Chains A and B, each alone.
Chain A
Amino acid sequence: MSLRGTCREVGDVAIVDFSGRITLGEGSATLRTTVRELVTAGHRKILLNLGDVDYIDSSGIGELVGAYTTVRGASGELKLMQLTKRVRDLIQITRLFTVFDVQSDESAAISAFRTK
């Protein structure tokens, strides 16, 4: 299953609901393109909902890091929410919990943007 992303907005936060796999090739490219388009459109608070992403490989992790640096480079913030256990474990063992702000649900994530 390839990656699909649906964008919506809650206040000034752009939320992307992803489903599928973030892996080498199409999945990684979809993530990259989606985040770059949001930044180009002027969004600076971006929340990636990974609740329906059940698989990420090293290319997908690299793409998440690339998305993070893209948004930070535009003086914005990127957060992740609703990680599945396997994705959470992967973020944990790669020490990326020290990089990403991971939130359990949407309201907590939006509140986290507002407290900045």
Chain B
Amino acid sequence: MAAPNQRMEVTLDTQLESVDLAENIVTRVAEAAGFGEDDLHKLGMAVREGVINAYNYGNCQDKRKKIHLAVELDPETMVVHVVDEGCGFELSDVEDPLAEENLLRTSGRGIFLMRAFMDDLAVRRGPTGGADLVMSKKLPHRVSGNGKS
């Protein structure tokens, strides 16, 4: 994989305020990259869900741990990493929130929403063993294919 043209990293505290902060950071970068209102909403929500996942499940609300947010832009794609300092997990272990028996659960929809709102979602192992949520979305002019930039 080619190196991104631009990369920005932010280290966030494990606290509720980091959820809004991450959403704001990523939507501003995405807006500058040319995403429209609907995609900005989807990107913001996906990142929000990623940071909620890191806050609640990865770092277990432990304020000593950090959440690492990175945004990469190349000519075709925007990629967002949300890395926690927990124990990591496998996507295959995540239950389907659309299954009849899970519909009345009050949690467990975050990964589903990230997948729904981004083009691709992968979970890797971060440098400290935590989860590295890697979500990507094609830049708008690449989706439309109309040559505009």
Q: How far apart sit A66 and B104, CA to CA, in the bound complex (Å)? A: 8
Question: Is A94 part of the binding interface, using a Cβ–Cβ cutoff of 8 Å?
Answer: yes
Q: How far apart sit A5 and B61, CA to CA, in the bound complex (Å)? A: 28
Near B by CB (< 8 A), chain A positions 70-87 give 86
Stretch of A36-44, A45-53, A54-62, A102-110 on the interface side? A54-62
Identify A58's interface contact among B16, B41, B49, B55, CB under 8 A: B49
Are B109 and A95 interface neighbours, CB within 8 A? no
Q: Chain B interface mostly helix, strand, loop or mixed?
A: helix
Question: Is B45 part of the binding interface, using a Cβ–Cβ cutoff of 8 Å?
Answer: yes
Question: Is B48 part of the binding interface, using a Cβ–Cβ cutoff of 8 Å?
Answer: yes
What residues of chain A have their CB less than 8 Å away from a CB belonging to chain B? 23-25, 57-59, 61-63, 65-66, 68-69, 86, 90, 93-96, 98-99
What residues of chain B have their CB less than 8 Å away from a CB belonging to chain A? 16, 19, 41, 45, 48-49, 52, 55, 97-98, 103-107, 109-110, 112-113, 116
